[in-house]
Amino acid sequence: MLTRYIKVNSLNLEPEKIEETAKILKEGGLVAFPTETVYGLGADAFNPQAVRNIFKAKGRPQDNPLIIHIWSNEQLDKLVKNIPQKAHVLMNNFWPGPLTVVLPKKEGVMSEATSGLDTVGVRMPDHPVALKLFQRSGVAVAAPSANISGKPSPTGGLHVLKDLAGKIDVVLDGGSAKVGVESTVVDCTGEIPVILRPGGVTKEEMEEVVGEVLLDPALHRKTFKPKSPGMKYSHYAPDGIMYLVVGKSIKSLAEKLADISMKRYQAGYKVALLAFEDTLALIGEKPYIKLSLGSRDNLSITAAKIYGLLRQCDRLKIDFIIAEGCPRKGMGLAVMNRLEKASGGKIIRLQD
Ligand code: AMP
Ligand code: MG
């Protein structure tokens, strides 16, 4: 299959390009599109063959449901049975935006998209190209992230092309994703909202508008089965072996990160150290590659660059990635979730 790569200006929206792509989407094609979180790989959510093609193109496990993307609240009627009060509050406050709300699904929503669950995850992304594309296609769009399953998510059109050229119809490139990590998935089927996957909207931000919000226990204890099927799979993994080092003291972190990196480097491996600016400053000049996670005081920037850094390591054919962790507060929760998954759980915890 020939994949068309179409660059589109997010400001003037070049209507003929959007129109052309919307037609492909409507007719059952696979279209990668920009959102504020990461790039999505979309198909008409009510076309079973098109939805099956998404799983095929990505190599995605069948039991990992897709998020259904909409451009207007009116579309919810066709997708969900009822909307509890707290879900309304969350949607009113964070849509369009990086929040996926899991609700009881309406009959007629295909099990291909929801992997047979009786719930459906719905989101309205905050990106003019995505919203215009959906609106012009007239369909609700089932879409996971537009990467090969298990690899780091795509935050630019060229990332998508690298992973999926030849497997999908169109890559609509609208520039780099500004949030950089996926949406927060929140289960609103019970009394208290439960975060199934941390993401672009923080727990603290949600609590401000809706009161108590819980975390799915599977997010911090391996013994629990996650309610979000996708969370059990290996994800975001770079080609190299990755270690994540966590601790409180920046001095101890710097020493440990430098020590592990140097030993691997001296053994002849290609090593990349991923750490915060102040840690890198303590470590100083080294012969291996050092990449900055930004400032630990602004983890939104870390989130925006994390997948790009992991993909850069793949381009550089890095054998070992040694990464620094951060506290699980605010955006730190989503950043740590991605780093933990990317490292396949190889975490070194420092005592002080
Ligand atoms: P991705 O689109 O690749 O970012 O993955 C979508 C995420 O949303 C996965 O972790 C899914 O398991 C999760 N998800 C989608 N629909 C549901 C649902 N109905 N219930 C729970 N999790 C869901
Ligand atoms: Mg994904």
Q: Whose CA is nearest to atom 9 of ligand 1?
A: 230
Name the DSSP letter for residue 182. Answer: P
> What's the 290 CA to ligand 2 centre distance in angstroms?
27
Q: How far is CA 278 from CA 252, 273, 304, in A?
A: 13, 13, 19
Count of helix runs (H) and strand runs (E) in the chain = 12, 16
Q: Whose CA is nearest to atom 19 of ligand 1?
A: 120
Q: Which of 140, 168, 165, 127 is nearest to 34 (CA)?
A: 127
Low-confidence ranges of the chain (pLDDT < 50): none
Q: Cα–Cα distance between 145 and 159 in angstroms, integer?
A: 11
pTM of the model: 0.97
The predicted pLDDT at position 345 comes to 92
Q: Whose CA is nearest to atom 23 of ligand 1?
A: 228
Query: Token digits for 270?
Result: 């290609």
The ligand with the least distance to the CA atom of 229 is 1
Ligand 1 mutation pick, 188, 197, 236, max ligand atoms within 8 A of CB: 197
Identify the residue whose tokens are 């309406």.
106
The predicted pLDDT at position 228 comes to 79
Q: Which of 333, 33, 344, 345 is nearest to 200 (CA)?
A: 333
Q: Cα–Cα distance between 220 and 213 in angstroms, integer?
A: 15
> What's the 183 CA to ligand 1 centre distance in angstroms?
10
> What's the 102 CA to ligand 1 centre distance in angstroms?
9
The fold of 241-349 is Rossmann fold (3.40.50)
Q: Whose CA is nearest to atom 11 of ligand 1?
A: 230
134-145 tens-digit pLDDT: 999 999 999 999
Q: Whose CA is nearest to atom 2 of ligand 1?
A: 144
The predicted pLDDT at position 280 comes to 98
Chain center to CA of 36:
10
341 lines ligand 1 (CB under 6 A): no
Ligand 1 mutation pick, 64, 114, 149, 188, max ligand atoms within 8 A of CB: 64
The ligand with the least distance to the CA atom of 65 is 1
The predicted pLDDT at position 223 comes to 63
Q: Whose CA is nearest to atom 13 of ligand 1?
A: 228
The fold of 4-220 is DHBP synthase (3.90.870)
- Give me the sign of the Cα torsion angle 62, 87, 34, 219: negative
- By the 8 A CB rule, do 80 and 106 touch? yes
H/E stretch holding 244 reads: strand 241-246
The ligand with the least distance to the CA atom of 199 is 1
121 lines ligand 1 (CB under 6 A): yes
279 lines ligand 1 (CB under 6 A): no
Q: Whose CA is nearest to atom 22 of ligand 1?
A: 228
Q: Cα–Cα distance between 119 and 214 in angstroms, integer?
A: 18
The ligand with the least distance to the CA atom of 66 is 1
> What's the 316 CA to ligand 1 centre distance in angstroms?
31
- By the 8 A CB rule, do 4 and 170 touch? yes
What residues does each domain of the chain span?
A: 4-220, 241-349
